Amino acid sequence: MIILLYGPNTYARDEKARELIESARIKYPTASYEVISGDEDGVYQVHSFLSETGLFAGGKKILHIRRASLFSDLELWMKDREKATRDDVLCIISEDWHKRECSEKELELFTGVDYKMQFFAPYNSLEASRLLAVAAHTQGSTLESSAAALIYAYAHMDMGGALQEIARLSLLTQSITAAVVRTLPEYAESVALFDFARAITSSATRARRLMLWEYMKFQHVDMYMIFGYLAKMAKKEGLIHALAQADILVKSGRLEIDHALEQIVIA
């Protein structure tokens, strides 16, 4: 059986993989278990692991392929798909593919084999705040929702990194507030990003949006990070549509990312 876990939310994907592996190892305690990186060398390691036979390699096999790139390297992976779907194999693949829908060509890898797949969308701000608040509580601290947004931005919207920050900040204070976070010099960029995104996604004046935009450029904040954060915070249909159109133009090479963002700021 192949189980494909894919999407931009690497933290949720890893958590799901961990649950599946723990369950399988309890059910099959003598199974051979291997974690393999999904790079080119990993392709050959997968082939070797699935091809092992003999006294010490018999029975069930549990394989976890992390950070794979299956849809980019279909030909490399096709040769082992039959082995990966044998009854004695559980193959969990964590794929960095960000599109929710897969084309027929991309699904060729699974033609004629037994598989399941699950997409992991990025956490929205409310989901991220809830998870971080729970983490803070387990560390003996309370977390203000606006502080959670700043921490999530600081971690570049990576939940694993944000959780590490919660553990660190909980050592400094039992009440993690936005006021406390804003006093920390390492948070200057995330504070700017949060304020900018909030201005764009709310009813801030054009003058306010332009002022924050100029500050973002002055601080050399990564433009793609800004775009990604806006996409996660956007709720209004007009902004979502504008971001989607800008994404198409940028990826097609017809518009530079900074110009695309500037048009959104002005509009």
Would you kindly state where each structural domain of the chain is located, as residue ranges? Answer: 2-119, 125-266
pLDDT averaged over every residue in the chain: 85
| Exposure of 178 in the CB half-sphere (CA atoms within 13 A) | 14
Give dist(CA 229, CA 232) in Å, integer.
5
**Is 177:144 a contact under the CB 8 Å cutoff?**
yes
pLDDT number for residue 76: 60
Highest mean pLDDT among 38-42, 45-49, 75-79: 45-49
**Least confident range of 1-10, 52-61, 94-103, 167-176:** 52-61
**Is 95:69 a contact under the CB 8 Å cutoff?**
yes
What dotted CATH number matches 2-119? Answer: 3.40.50.300
| Exposure of 142 in the CB half-sphere (CA atoms within 13 A) | 3
**Position with higher pLDDT, 165 vs 190:** 165
Whether 58 has a pLDDT exceeding 60, the answer reads no
pLDDT number for residue 22: 95
**Least confident range of 105-119, 123-137, 182-196, 253-267:** 105-119
Q: Which two tokens stand for residue 74?
A: 């279909």
Residue that has been written with the tokens 């559980």 in this structure? 90
Q: Which two tokens stand for residue 11?
A: 């933290």
Q: What is the SS3 assignment for 46-83?
A: HHHHHHCCCCCCCCCEEEEEEEECHHHCHHHHHCCHHH
- Is the pTM higher than 0.75? The answer reads no
Name, in order, each residue with C-beta under 8 angstroms of 46's C-beta and a sequence gap of 6 or more.
36, 63, 65, 77, 80, 84
pLDDT band at 73 (very low <50, low <70, confident <90, very high): low
pLDDT per position as a tens digit, 186-232: 898 888 888 898 899 887 899 999 999 998 888 888 888 888 888 87
